[in-house]
C-alpha cells in the first residue's frame, strides 16, 4: 500500500445528530470520506470559558486516506458549526485489503 493510500480516521463532535449528518453527507458526496459513522447520545464534560459544562453531543468518525487529509480537514473546518471544534486525526493500519481498496475507490477525486 502506498503511503497516500494509508487509512486515516478523523474524530469530531457536534451539538446534534442533524448537524453531523449534514456534514457527513457533504464529505461523502465530495469523495473526501468513504464512510462516516455518527454516534448520537455522547455526553461531553469539559471546561469552557472558566465553567464546567455538560452537553449531549453526536460523535462523528470519518474514514478516509492520507492523500485526502488536507482537503478533508479544510472542508470540516469550513462546515463545522462550532467556533472551536475538536478535530483529531488518527492514523494507523487496518486489516482487510478488500476494504482498503474500497476505501481508495470511494475517495478518488
Over residues 23-57, the pLDDT tens digits come to 999 999 999 999 999 999 999 999 999 999 999 99
16 Cβ contact list (under 8 Å, min separation 6):
57, 58
Q: Quick one: pLDDT at residue 75?
A: 96
Distance of alpha carbon 101 from alpha carbon 6, whole angstroms: 10
Mean pLDDT of the chain: 92
Confidence of residue 79 (pLDDT cuts 50, 70, 90): very high
Distance of alpha carbon 106 from alpha carbon 98, whole angstroms: 12
Asked if the model's pLDDT at residue 74 lies above 70, the reply is yes
Q: Quick one: pLDDT at residue 93?
A: 75
Q: Name all domains of the chain by residue range, CATH numbers in brackets.
A: 3-106 (3.30.70.120)
Q: What is the grid cell recorded at 11? A: 474524530
Whether residue 61 contacts residue 23, with contact meaning beta carbons closer than 8 Å, is answered with no
Write phi, then psi, for 22 (nearest 5 degrees).
Answer: -60, -50
CA distances from 25 to 13, 17, 38, 52, 79 (A): 15, 12, 11, 32, 11
Whether residue 10 contacts residue 76, with contact meaning beta carbons closer than 8 Å, is answered with yes
Q: Quick one: pLDDT at residue 27?
A: 97
Asked if the model's pLDDT at residue 1 lies above 70, the reply is no
Q: What is the grid cell recorded at 57? A: 453531543
Amino acid at each position: 500500500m502506498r503511503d497516500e493510500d494509508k487509512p486515516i480516521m478523523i474524530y469530531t463532535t457536534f451539538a446534534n445528530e442533524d448537524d453531523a449528518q449534514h456534514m457527513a453527507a457533504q464529505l461523502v458526496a465530495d469523495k473526501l470520506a468513504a464512510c462516516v459513522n455518527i454516534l448520537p447520545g455522547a455526553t461531553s464534560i469539559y471546561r469552557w470559558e472558566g465553567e464546567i459544562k455538560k452537553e449531549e453531543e453526536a460523535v462523528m468518525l470519518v474514514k478516509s486516506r492520507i492523500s485526502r487529509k488536507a482537503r478533508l480537514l479544510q472542508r470540516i473546518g469550513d462546515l463545522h458549526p462550532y467556533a472551536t471544534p475538536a478535530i483529531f486525526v488518527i492514523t494507523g493500519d487496518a486489516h482487510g485489503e478488500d476494504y482498503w481498496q474500497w476505501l481508495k475507490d470511494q475517495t478518488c477525486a
